[in-house]
Amino acid sequence: MRILKSVAIAATLVLASVSAAQTPKPVRTQWGLVQGVNENGLTVYKGIPFGAPPVGDLRWRPPQPPAPWKGVRTADKFGPACMQNPAGGRALGLEQLEVSEDCLFLNIWTPAKSPKDRLPVMVWIYGGGFSLGSTSYKQFDGGNIAKRGVVVVSVAYRVGKFGFMAHPELSAEQGGHSGNYGLMDQIAGLQWVKKNVAAFGGNPRRVTIFGESAGGISISMLAASPLTKGLYQGAISESGGAFTPPRYANEGGESTPPLSVAEQNGKDLLSKIGAASIAEARKIPADELMKKLSQSPGGSWPVFDGYVLPGDQYELYEAGKYNDTPILVGTNADEGAAFVRTANAAAFTANVRAGYADFADKILAVYPAGTEPEALRSSQDLVRDTLFAWNTWTWARLQSQTGESKVFVYYFSHQPPYPDTPLFKGWGAAHAGELGYVFGQFGAGMKPTPDDFALSDQIESYWTNFAKTGDPNGAGLPAWPAFANADQQVMDLDDPSHAIPVPNMDKYKVLDAYYAWRRREEEKH
């Protein structure tokens, strides 16, 4: 019996020591202690609150600090996604989401063994058209990136009309601006990182922000916002940028409205949902409000509010009014395939004439639609260029002209191993196609080859080198030349990767002339 008892005691001690080894010590943030978990050689923290729940009277307000907590908060589960229609993500083959208005949480993957490690930090901002998105999607697991010697943080932000609705009442109560609550959430997340990431082994003076699609557009907007000065030291934008003129009506190729237009959209929206005031709308339960808002278009995009976004980014960059840090920006060769699956030549031509007005003939000359296949290709290319590629090229040009920091541009042309389903039929390097390579997380149904894994290793190296030094180049990698207006080279990320001249330049030049014309027309009014 004594032998059995001794064995039992020894086993208990072994289990206890294993448990202790698997349980990291709590880390103190400014709001309280958090307990992470060990995963594959990293310490991971999920669901750390960085803002108070934006509910009730805090709906459509700038994020407020979270309430301090006593004891140790377990950080082993993602917070819910911000309010959105979960069907939108499911239609893209993404996981089912738990959604809630109480959603201002961030997550951390750190390889640091001590706060003294002071590792570079990469802060991820997800995409989703400013209407969808979550930090909890498996494709955004930061573990593979963190293993390369950086601390990865992902930040949630309000989307849709919960995150981007402007209204005269809101502007009156908030100092003359409204509508950019989702961007302010991102900024609050960066402020939290600056104050707290050192406790997780990160260096608050070596922060790189990176994002894709709406996340990449967010990166562009944060780069032009005076509110982010000093919060980061490098920026990576995948399929992002916001350098088109303000959108007043239905102008072709433009997205971001000025405050006056956004406020009117907000008034129309409240009228449609039957709310007499903002106070009344704040009393509607989130699920009920979500259903009402889903039936009304508009109000789901950032706003030139004069505060978070001082104005037209093109003009801000021309004047040198932006955060001058190294940037790594780029687009995919076949972005538009994810947005346009069929096209009618007559309808495409009519839409171009309606949206591009007096400039339509010049647009149709480089985006022709003489046949149905030609109209499909032009439809996809016009989406690629107006939403993403022209903005990226313009960002690189303007910063090269007026800034001092290095600029690196990529063109992702490698076809991912898409699942063999009708949804992906005919796709090349489509929108979001690079994400699996950046995170080393290929989606369900994909069958990556050794070449895919090799390209992923290369891209992760480029991204993390940039986070560490402000330059993606490193030992064993194809040389990536910095972009310069006198020598406009971009890195073609493919098998093999190599530097090439900027592709599709004939189209960019026509769009550049179009946007210049739009700005001249606006000055007349």
The residues that are catalytic are 213, 335, 431
C-alpha count within 13 angstroms, C-beta hemisphere, residue 256: 27
Choose among 106, 325, 101: nearest CA to 219.
325
Other beta carbons within 10 Å of 245: 24
Strands 119-125 and 72-74: unpaired
The token duo for 292 is: 């009402």
Which residues touch 110 (CB under 8 Å, ≥6 apart)? 42, 43, 44, 45, 119, 146, 151, 152, 200, 201, 202
| CA dist., res. 361 & res. 380, Å (int) | 18
Strands 151-155 and 202-212: unpaired
Other beta carbons within 10 Å of 271: 11
Choose among 23, 30, 25: nearest CA to 49.
30
| CA dist., res. 282 & res. 342, Å (int) | 40
Is the separation of the CB atoms in 317 and 380 below 8 Å? no
Residues in the chain: 525
* Phi, psi of 435, rounded to the nearest 5 degrees: -60, -40
Is the separation of the CB atoms in 184 and 104 below 8 Å? no
Vertex 305: Cα angle to 523 and 55 (nearest 5): 155
C-alpha count within 13 angstroms, C-beta hemisphere, residue 136: 21
Is the separation of the CB atoms in 208 and 233 below 8 Å? yes
| CA dist., res. 83 & res. 162, Å (int) | 7
Number of H helices, E strands in the chain: 18, 14
Tell me the residue type at 83.
M
Tell me the residue type at 153.
V
Is the separation of the CB atoms in 198 and 171 below 8 Å? no
The token duo for 238 is: 């995948």
- DSSP for residue 250: S
Residue 442, CA distances (Å) to 316, 432, 448, 450, 461 in order:
38, 11, 7, 13, 17
